[in-house]
Chain A
Amino acid sequence: MAAETIATLGPFRVGIEPDKAAAFSAETGCSGQGAPLCYPAVWLAEPSVRTTIADYCAARDAVPVHESQTFEFDNILQVGKNYDLTVAFAEEAEPPRLILTATVATPCGKRAAHIETVMRIVPRSKLGAAA
């Protein structure tokens, strides 16, 4: 079943600050010599993204369960650089899923990365069964 886009956020400016990249590296076993590949996960915790997910789930009395995650890079992200992030939210009905598709672009508009986050939307009443 094709996912239906229900909302889009951005583009908004994000960055990879050296100290935050180093802290992320330290907690994920990375060398700390560059931007951790999975660092864009930090951007998906931005308040506007989180609020969209929270509102979507609250309307369904459900919780999101992270099902899969993909990062694909046209150009490796650089510590100290800024990027523009656009996030599209799409839903699938059966089983219920919320799919975030994020595009990371350089300030001059060149695509640098593509991110997909898939979340199962689990009704609170079925939480025990989902475990």
Chain B
Amino acid sequence: MSDDSVPAPGDKLPPMVIGPFDADALARYAGVSGDDNPLHLDDALAQAIGLAAPPVHGMKLLAYFEAYLAAWRPDLTIVRLGGKFVQPILRGEPATLTGRVVRASREEGVFLRLFAQGSARVPAIIGEARLRFPQAPAE
């Protein structure tokens, strides 16, 4: 969608695949974010809690939705982005971002339900976003 139209409820965003993220990518994110929780970096610790590999930082995955939404509607401004971390996505596992329009109006903006899904059947992140239309200049 490239015009400034108001999307309809139920409209689906094209999926975007991100990753897979390797150990270097997780270490770099830990460095730039300050989230150096060893769970994301240490194989033995991840295995100790039953994971086959360290999980990707949930915040790193959530942050990718900014690019995802911007690719869909670069004319809109993201004013809210949130997500619930339901299931880990593990190192080496790609994730697919999807979304659909819940409701939209030029006045209130576009409300979206977002999902990040790895290889598991349940979503890894269930998210939400609100995007605002450009505001008309004051007369």
Contacts and interface: CB of A to CB of B under 8 A. Distances in A.
B63 A73 contact: no
Given A28-B60, A30-B67, A38-B66, A71 B34 contact: no
Interface string A20-39: 10011011111100001110
B49 A71 contact: no
Interface residues of A, number: 30
Contacts of B68: 29
Nearest to B70: A31
A29 B63 contact: yes
| Size range of the chain B interface in the assembly | 20 to 34
Interface of A: 20, 23-24, 26-31, 36-38, 41-42, 45-46, 66-73, 76, 116, 127-128, 130-131
B41 interface: no
A36 B65 CA distance: 11
Interface of B: 18, 25, 28-29, 31-35, 48-51, 58-60, 62-64, 66-68, 70, 77-85
Contact of A36 (B50, B63, B84, B85): B63
Contacts of A29: 18, 63-64, 66-68
A72 B34 contact: no
Contacts, number: 93
A42 B31 CA distance: 10
Contacts of B29: 27-28
Nearest to B21: A27
A70 B48 CA distance: 29
B32 A76 contact: no
Nearest to A70: B82
A67 B85 contact: yes
